[in-house]
Structure 1
Amino acid sequence: MKKYKYPSVLSIAGFDGSGGAGLQADIKTASALGCYSTSVLTALPVQNTMGVKNIFSIPNAAIEEQLATIFEDIFPNAIKIGMVHTSELVQTIVKALHSHTQVPVVFDPVMVATSGHKLIEDDTIEVIAKQLIPLAQLITPNLDEAAILADMKIESVEDMYRAGKRIIDLGVQGLLLKGGHLKTEHLTSLYFTKQGEVHEFSYQKYDTNNTHGSGCTLSSAIASYLARGESILEAVGKGQEFVHKAIYHGKNVQVGHGNGPLNHFFNPEKLIKNELER
């Protein structure tokens, strides 16, 4: 009798009790794209659509055990990393990833929430740049996060090109620089490769506050497409299309009183079954 397995995506991220971002967005996204979602909790932010009220840490020993437990049982086809807010946590994750370098990693360097709240300790940024970023096949910062990494203001698409080249020089394998915060009619994103290629993507902007968790959703969507066997460029393109449509289908729905979530299930796919190799 034939046996099958689901493409598995591991999310290493923080919690969002309001359901729009963090692990909750990752689980919804991977599920909507036909993948099996596993997770490791890195932090417990207390938040809703209006902002982050507090952040409670998870003991590093608990995170280390979570990682080991998932890797030994449900080995992922791709990994998405989100909120990593302490240098000790970075080192814990890096240690685990060094044993599994064959798995593609998408890192969303969550430093600033949609509401503008800073989510990361200052001394963690340098450790992330030196230890975690080089292990990722792709990082997906927004403009606020890219400005921190590139150490420059980003106020135009031209600035995005300059900042992207600075960030690639940090040892990044791939960079998707999201331009959603620019005050322009269209959203422009740039995908930089370490070989010097730059691919530009442009999408219509929608008049909506329902973008809470869009960065989490994007990185998870890209990881899901990688788990399904897509190339990195295909995954980057399809991941952005998924987020664009999820925003469109949720733009007129009110959830909470602040920045509402996307509609992750606008067109959900059935769980994909791949035949196990003998």
Structure 2
Amino acid sequence: MSFLPLTPGGQTPPRVMTIAGSDSGGGAGIQADMRTFALLGAHACVAVTAVTVQNSMGVKGFHEIPLDVIVGQIEAVVSDIGVQAAKTGMLASSDIIAAVAETWRGQGLAGTVPLVVDPVCASMHGDPLLHPSALDALRTDLFPLATLVTPNLDEVRLIVGIDVVDEASQRDAARALHALGPQWALVKGGHLRSSPESPDLLFDGTDFHEFGATRVDTGDDHGAGDTLAAATAVALAHGYTVPDAVAFAKSWVTECLRAAYPLGHGHGPVSPLFRLAVDGSS
């Protein structure tokens, strides 16, 4: 695959922010985002929204960061360092979602800086990472600010009530998601086991774009959604169009799945570390 260009030493690379939760096991969340940011040559900025207690077996609990600290992290970075793109992950509660949305607008970022919203509702093990009451805040506060939303099929079911089982229902889900206000909606097909591929569907309100990839047979897929959204955000920071950014991110996460490694007694993480073994940067 073709990588994003690396910035020469001594020059400032693109700055990309992740607004998400910390994963103590290092497989997903901010830790996964920062690995992809770094290996795609971006400078990672963070706003930590929650601290999770988790390992490869699942999430044991989480602690929400105070709202003023979350808002302060975003404001501190934007006012000094600046960001060319951002992504959200675990936001935990309606209050946090509302605070992030208000801060995004208040800092003048809405409509000017690409925002990828990965609407994290539960871990891959089914452990809840979002209070049920927060679903409405996702729909009404955050989605209208998003350049792109990237739910998996379980999240699609929670957000718009559509059970995606085939191409027709995937298109229905994309339309329903787009109606909530984002510029683009991506319905990921990694969990669509009826397909031999992993079909992702992108919709801008008028046109559909389809992205396929041979399904990688691995149980070590922790952090795949985070990694896809993170790679998309970096590509957008480089000036890619949304379809091109999604196509790049799809290729990236496929390679990360091929490079995934076992960890602990559960699901190991997808791994962008494969780039370290590649001769050259393209």
TM-score of the superposed pair, with normalisation by structure 1: 0.92
Q: Give the structure 1 partner of residue 270 of structure 2.
A: 262
1:26 correspondence with 2:39: no
Return the match for 1:44 from 51, 55, 61. 51
Return the match for 1:136 from 128, 134, 146. 146
User: How big is the shift at 1:106?
Assistant: 0.4
User: How big is the shift at 1:157?
Assistant: 2.5
SS of 1:45's equivalent? strand
SS of 2:125's equivalent? coil
Unaligned segments of structure 1, at least 5 residues: 273-278
Contact 2:18 2:46 in 1 (8 A): yes
Q: Give the structure 2 partner of residue 53 of structure 1.
A: 60
State how far apart, in whole Å, the 1-side matches of 2:37 and 2:144 are. Answer: 24
SS of 1:37's equivalent? strand
Q: What letter matches 2:230 in structure 1?
A: S
User: How big is the shift at 1:212?
Assistant: 0.3
State how far apart, in whole Å, the 2-side matches of 1:18 and 1:236 are. Answer: 27
State how far apart, in whole Å, the 2-side matches of 1:154 and 1:229 are. Answer: 31
User: How big is the shift at 1:172?
Assistant: 2.1
Q: Give the structure 1 partner of residue 202 of structure 2.
A: 191
Q: Give the structure 2 partner of residue 11 of structure 1.
A: 18
User: How big is the shift at 1:118?
Assistant: 2.1
Contact 2:145 2:181 in 1 (8 A): no
User: How big is the shift at 1:4?
Assistant: 3.7
User: How big is the shift at 1:140?
Assistant: 0.3
1:152 correspondence with 2:126: no
Identity of aligned residues (%): 34
State how far apart, in whole Å, the 2-side matches of 1:105 and 1:46 are. Answer: 27
SS of 2:202's equivalent? strand
**Higher mean C-alpha deviation, range 14-23 or range 162-171:** 162-171
C-alpha RMSD of the superposition: 1.6
User: How big is the shift at 1:158?
Assistant: 2.1
Q: Which runs of 4+ in 1 moved over 4 A?
A: none
TM-score of the superposed pair, with normalisation by structure 2: 0.91
1:69 correspondence with 2:81: no
Contact 1:115 1:259 in 2 (8 A): no
State how far apart, in whole Å, the 1-side matches of 2:102 and 2:135 are. Answer: 17
Contact 2:216 2:254 in 1 (8 A): no
Deviations 1:206-236 (A, max 9, x none): 2211110000000000001111121111111
**Higher mean C-alpha deviation, range 20-29 or range 164-173:** 164-173
Q: What letter matches 2:23 in structure 1?
A: D
Deviations 1:247-273 (A, max 9, x none): 0122xx32111111011121159xx9x
How many residues of Structure 1 are paired with residues of Structure 2 in the alignment? 266
Return the match for 1:228 from 238, 241, 246. 238
Deviations 1:190-209 (A, max 9, x none): 01113x11111111112211
State how far apart, in whole Å, the 2-side matches of 1:213 and 1:116 are. Answer: 14
Unaligned segments of structure 2, at least 5 residues: 1-9
